[in-house]
A and B are shown apart, each in its own frame.
Chain A
Amino acid sequence: MYALKDLPKEELFTSGHRLCAGCAHPISVRMVTKVLRGPTVIVSTTGCLEVSSSIYPHTAWKVPWVHIAFENGAAVASGIEAAFKAFKRKGIIDKNVDIIAICGDGGTYDIGIQAISGALERKHDFVYICHDNEAYMNTGIQRSGATPKGAATTTSPAGKKIPGKPEWKKDFIGICIAHGIEYAATATPAYWGDYLMKIRKAIEVDGPAVINVLTPCPLGWRYEPKDTIKISRLAVLTRYFPLYEYERGRYKLTIKVPKPLPVEEFLKIQGRFRHLFNPEFKKELDEVKYYVEENWNRILKLCGEA
């Protein structure tokens, strides 16, 4: 349990970055930097967070930070971890250095999945945090493997025949857990206490740990910037985005939602889902609702709560 007043005042991700007003990325990054264990290196892949936080000669990072490319956050982290391991073996350093990769969903669910799989299989000691805003926002809102069914993006537009993305979102956390890692979790900034606890747990794991954080995007999801936390909360309260963790074989639902709000509460305030409320797409809307329910039941079962 964390009390806000006990968190460090010092900002390791400073203001003056160029992320949009109301963007969830910096909220998540600030939370990560508030619960670091000690010396830490952060790796980011190409995307909004990277381009907006490191416009030369400006950088918002007050921790050692590196960006290499779009698809290799986990591989770069592997290399850094290996270097520090070798230095320790050779007696060049004696302190532990934590390594955290913060990457977007495009660089995670799609183009980076191979590098992630490799790094998880090799059991490098690092934390992989996916900022999941459910599309390629940096290139202008294209669909990714994390985009949910029904969402309109610029490459899965709400057409007259096909209303948004026809496919479901990938179960990224499930893929990670299948690698036999010790810790994996979902999170979202609205539940800051839950998120802070998960970040710290992930850091303390000796080996790879993964957190998938839902980070709402005002521009891509088409809502008012002031509503970022509200939407992040509604995602949980409607059971659209279950918050759970996996620890050494055991699943736990960390935020219980006994009396869920209708999924429509989450969908209707976002432009990307607006078309689903046209009467001709009732079937698709129902499918989204059905998916949310099925997914929730699946997670409940895993958590032993069903």
Chain B
Amino acid sequence: MSKLTWKEIPIGGVIPKGGTAIEYKSGDWRTFRPVIDVNKCVNCLICWIYCPDSSIIRLEKHVDVDYYHCKGCGICAEECPVKAIKMVEE
């Protein structure tokens, strides 16, 4: 994507639209990926509330991972009360 010129950028450095960071692929930072055992998951959402990267997806029966953004910190695996998340090397 070509970058905007000074005539094109909104004044004062404002970003007029919220949440544009979602385009940034922070998942590239990962060396270990969390893998969810959906059979073990009790959908308690502990991993969801503790995720620094909003990368736990809430589904009907269990959770899933947004690998586009997950940085692989491992907090979810560490905190999962039923040990349903494993960190696997990329």
Contacts and interface: CB of A to CB of B under 8 A. Distances in A.
Interface string B43-63: 111101111111100100000
B44 A21 contact: no
A142 interface: no
Interface residues of A, number: 42
Nearest to B74: A226
A298 interface: no
B52 A22 contact: yes
B67 to A, nearest CB: 11
Interface in B1-57: 4, 13, 15, 17-26, 29-30, 43-46, 48-55
Contacts of B45: 4-5
A171 B21 CA distance: 36
Contact of A192 (B15, B25, B50, B73): B50
Nearest to B26: A16
A27 B19 contact: no
A13 interface: yes
A106 B33 CA distance: 33
Contacts of B77: 226
Given A14-B21, A16-B24, A21 B49 contact: no
B15 A15 contact: no
A21 B33 CA distance: 12
Contacts of A18: 24, 26
Contacts of B75: 22, 225-226, 228-229
Given A15-B69, A229-B78, A4 B49 contact: yes
Interface of A: 4-5, 7, 9, 11, 13-27, 30-31, 53-63, 189, 192, 224-230
Given A4-B44, A15-B68, A31-B49, 6 more contacts: A4-B49, A16-B24, A21-B71, A192-B49, A224-B74, A225-B75
